[in-house]
Amino acid sequence: MSTVLPDDPLPQPRSGLLGAWDSFIGPGATAAENMLILTISIAGTILLFVYQANRQLNWTPLQVALVALLSLDLLGGVVANTTTATKRWYHRPGQTARDHLGFIAVHFIHLLLVAVLFRETDWGYFAVTYAYLMLAALVILRVPLYLQRPVAFSMYLGGVALGLYVLTPSLGLEWFLPVFYLKLLVSHLVVETPFAPGER
């Protein structure tokens, strides 16, 4: 059986470039966790480029570079934020609701770049999607812990509906809002018990 880790000492980030990676996804990640994060982010980005080429979207080099960065961050982030290493790191003792809100808040840049570069500076899109993000995060952080997961998924479904039926999806970026909200509202915010690697 796998064993629960919450009382084990939390590993500290290494030095140098490896330490920067540790501070990003959490120290102590296993080879399997690292492989999953990198495989999904890279493979997903390649598939997006294949999709873009087949759709002949005629993106500028700047748009292509931005899509690559967004997909690497968001696709890898959905996976990373559910691993034991990342859960332990971002929910370690001393982390507060303000810390989590700060992490969520800085992701305004993703929405801003999409609004400016893919939606002809659509300020309404930016305002609505960011307001929903912050409102949903506040709700998730304030509910009792036993309700946090179902509430997070409920707010996520609201975000998907917002992107599909209230706002016009961005051409070629139809995946963006669903993955964006999945990473932040579900993968990151939900507190879960981390488990050690081991056979079941």
| pLDDT tens track for 39-69 | 999 999 999 889 888 888 889 999 999 999 9
11 occurs within a structural domain: no
pLDDT surpassing 70 at residue 3: no
10-19, 90-99, 166-175, 181-190: segment of lowest average pLDDT:
10-19
SS3 46: helix
Residues in the chain: 200
pLDDT surpassing 80 at residue 170: yes
Q: Which tokens hold the place of 178? A: 């669903």
Angle at which helices 108-117 and 123-142 cross, to 10°: 160
Q: Which tokens hold the place of 128? A: 């609505």
Q: What is the domain count for the chain?
A: 1
94 occurs within a structural domain: yes
pLDDT surpassing 50 at residue 1: no
- Domain extent at residue 144: 16-188
- In angstroms, the CA 64 to CA 72 distance is 12
Percent of the chain at pLDDT exceeding 90: 71
83 occurs within a structural domain: yes
196 occurs within a structural domain: no
101 occurs within a structural domain: yes
Q: Can you tell me the mean pLDDT for 8-32? A: 84
114 occurs within a structural domain: yes
